[in-house]
Copies of this chain bind each other. A is one copy, B any other.
Amino acid sequence: MFKGQVTIKDIAKELGISPSTVSKALKGHRDISLSTKQSVRDLVEKWHYKPDPIALSLKSGLTKIIGVIVPEIVHYFFSTVISGIEDLAYDSGYHVMFCQSNESYEREVKAVETLLSSRVDGILVSVTKVTSDFNHFRKIQENGIPLVFFDRISSEIDTDRVVVDDEVGAFDAVKHLINIGCKNIVHLAGPQNLQIGKSRKDGYVRALKYFNQPINNQNIISCDTREEARIVVPELMKREKRPDGIFAVNDLTAVEAMNMIKECGFKVPEDVSVVGFTSGMISDITTPTLSSVEQHGYLIGREAVKLLIDRIEKKHNLPSQTIVIKTEMVVKGSSKSARSI
């Protein structure tokens, strides 16, 4: 009873019964007498007995722990997702173990090994930007551990997914730019080996087509970091045919694009309208505030956990499913055009 924790043996000894009887009593087994059950419950209450999760795990082979791999915790979007994961996981009786891949393939592989060797019951992953070999994810599946991808998925692995409707979000963003009068919209695109990079570009292209604007390959530029924007955007502003709208694959890039535009002596949104992706706190603190496509990270986290727990507890046996979270175009200062439409 000391050494920190009360065990089932302590209870049994005190009550003069066997450990197995205590165990059954606790589980409400039918063939334990009511009086025994009651005295066990009383003592459990009094001594604050809590079953040891480690012993439970050893028996059941389950840890009630969910592993999560994200590129970076220090990232508003991911921290909202994590927040959602955490909340629902705890409510469902699971714990959460985090690993950051720091956008490094090697660290991602290591994180997978770490989580597997920790015997987590399931794994949630948002893939790094640079991952192009997916064998470490296959290993998860070969071990029979449920795997759910969220946001940054790999299309090479057949598994459950929670994604944002990137294509539609991008379409809406570009549609908005067109609606406010932009005629020469540049897309600062993400890596095309990532689904989100591809989808957002596809949405951009589809919107242009839909509204009969010409598609110019010069207007699709690989640029998804602040550092790149710092180089790319000033180039853009020197073009003979200056862009009047920029749709960036993420908010940080969009913000830096705004800053560069201003540094080049132009105004946002008067000269160039800018729209980002992943509306977060950032979009509120810039001047002007940044129009952006809201991704509902918290919800993504919750849905991903729900899917994962369903798999772990085998609540269904459906083929892999993909849940699509709707995006929402949030118009703020960087694109509220005063120009006539």
Query: Once the chains are docked, how many angstroms separate the CA of A157 from the CA of B194?
Result: 48
Number of interface residues of A (CB under 8 A): 46
A54 to B226, CA, bound (A): 44
The B-contacting residues of A in range 265-292, CB under 8 angstroms, are: 281-282, 284-287
Which residues of B have CB within 8 Å of A262? 287
Per-residue B-contact encoding for A53-81, CB less than 8 Å = 1, 0 else:
11101100001010000001111100110
Beta-carbon contact of B119 and A98 below 8 Å? no
Q: Check A83–B54 contact: CB distance below 8 A.
A: no
A97 and B95 in contact (CB under 8 A), knowing A144-B4, A285-B252, A286-B286? Answer: yes
Whether A63 pairs with B54 at a CB distance below 8 angstroms is yes
CB of A51, distance to nearest CB on chain B (Å): 8
Q: Chain B's nearest CB lies how many Å from the CB of A139?
A: 10
Q: Is the CB of B285 within 8 A of A287?
A: no
- A19–chain B nearest beta-carbon distance, Å: 16
Q: Does chain B have a CB within 8 A of A21?
A: no
Within residues 100 to 124 of chain A, which ones have a CB less than 8 A from any CB in chain B?
100, 114, 117-119
**B73 contacts A90, CB within 8 Å?**
no
Among A53, A73, A117, A259, find the residue whose CB has the most chain B CB atoms closer than 10 A. Answer: A73
A300 on the B face (CB < 8 A): no
Please give, as numbers and ranges, the residues of chain B lying within 8 Å of A160 by CB-CB distance. none
A170 interface residue per 8 A CB criterion: no
Q: Give complex CA distance A295, B245 in Å.
A: 37
- Decide: A117 and B282 in contact? CB cutoff 8 A: no
**Pairs A–B under 8 Å by Cβ, sample size 20:** A50-B117, A53-B117, A53-B118, A53-B119, A54-B54, A55-B58, A65-B97, A73-B79, A73-B83, A74-B281, A86-B99, A95-B114, A95-B118, A226-B284, A226-B285, A252-B281, A252-B285, A259-B285, A285-B286, A286-B287
